[in-house]
Structure 1
Amino acid sequence: MNTIFQKEKIGLGKRKRAIARVFLVPGNGKVIINKFSGEKYLQYNTNYLNAILEPLEKLNLKDQFDIIAIVKGGGLTGQTDAIKLGVSRLLCKMESSNRLVLKPFGFLTRDSRIKERKKYGLRKARKASQYSKR
C-alpha cells in the first residue's frame, strides 16, 4: 500500500458482520469503496452515501477529504454504518476536539446488535416447530 495508508491513519468501523477500514485523504469529497466509486458500490442509493458523508458534514469538512474504504462482510446497510463509524473514529483521532461535536449525534457509538445464535431443538434462534395437540 501507499505511504498514505499508515496504521495511525486508519479508522476501523464494525456493524453486524461488516468490517470497514477507512482512510481520509486530502481531496474534494469523493468516496471510494473497494476500488469502486461510492455511488456505484452503494447502487446509487443516496441515503447510504449521505450517511457516510454525515460526520464530515457536521464538521464542515465535506469538501476537504476523500474517503477511501476497504469493506468486508455483511450487506450494504451494515457496510455503510461500518464506514460511517470508521470515518467518525478517524476524525476524532486526527483532532480530539471533533469528539465533542460527533458524540451527541451518536456517530461514535458502535451498534452492538448482532445475529442471535441458533438454539438446539429449534429451527432458528427462536422459531420452534408448530405445536400439535393431537
Structure 2
Amino acid sequence: MSQEVVNAVGRRKSAVARVYLTAGGSGNITINDRPLENYFPLEIFQYIVKQPLAVTNLTEGVDIKINLTGGGIKGQAEAARLGISRCLIEMDAELRPELKKNGFLTRDARVVERKKPGRPGARKRFQFSKR
C-alpha cells in the first residue's frame, strides 16, 4: 500500500519551494535532504515554515519533503510556507478558509526592482552638483 503524495510549488522573491506532502506521516520535515532544524537553524524561520501546520493542527499527521532553490533564507522560508499551504488544500479542501484567513495562500509578489540606466540603483540618483 503506497501512501498518496501531494505536491505543490511555493514562490517568494526569487526563491522556489517544491513541496511533497505525505499524509499519515510522523511529522518529519525534510528540506534539501536535511532536517528542518539543520537547514533553518534560527527558530523564527522554523516557525514560519510550520505555521500552516500549526493553524490546521496537523503537526504530527504529515511528512513533508521540500526542494528549495534560489533566494535568501527568509524568502525560502516563506516560499516553503506557501507550498505547504497549497499542499494542505489539495489534500483537504476544508482547510482552505482557515489558511486563507491567516494569509498563507497569498503569493507575495514583491520582488527587487531592476536597476535603471543613469542611476546608481533602482531609484536613487547621483548627487546633484550645481557647479
TM-score (norm 1): 0.90
- 2:98 aligns with 101
* TM-aligned CA deviation for residue 88 of structure 1: 0.3
* TM-aligned CA deviation for residue 129 of structure 1: 1.1
* TM-aligned CA deviation for residue 28 of structure 1: 1.9
- Greater shift, 21-30 or 59-68, is seen at 21-30
User: After the TM superposition, which residues 1-134 of structure 1 pair with which residues of structure 2 at under 5 Å, given as runs?
Assistant: 9-25=6-22, 26-42=24-40, 44-134=41-131
Structure 2 residue runs without a partner (length 5+): none
* TM-aligned CA deviation for residue 14 of structure 1: 0.2
* TM-aligned CA deviation for residue 4 of structure 1: 6.6
Q: Partners in 1 of 2:4 and 2:67 — Cα distance?
A: 12
1:15 to 1:4, Cα distance in 2 relative to 1, 3 A: farther
Q: Partners in 2 of 1:100 and 1:4 — Cα distance?
A: 26
Q: How many residues align?
A: 129
* TM-aligned CA deviation for residue 10 of structure 1: 1.1
Q: Partners in 2 of 1:116 and 1:96 — Cα distance?
A: 36
> Aligned AA for 2:26?
N
> Aligned AA for 1:76?
I
Q: Partners in 2 of 1:5 and 1:17 — Cα distance?
A: 29
Of all paired residues, the percent bearing the same amino acid is: 42
Structure 1 residue runs without a partner (length 5+): none
1:5 to 1:115, Cα distance in 2 relative to 1, 3 A: farther
CA RMSD of aligned residues (A): 1.5
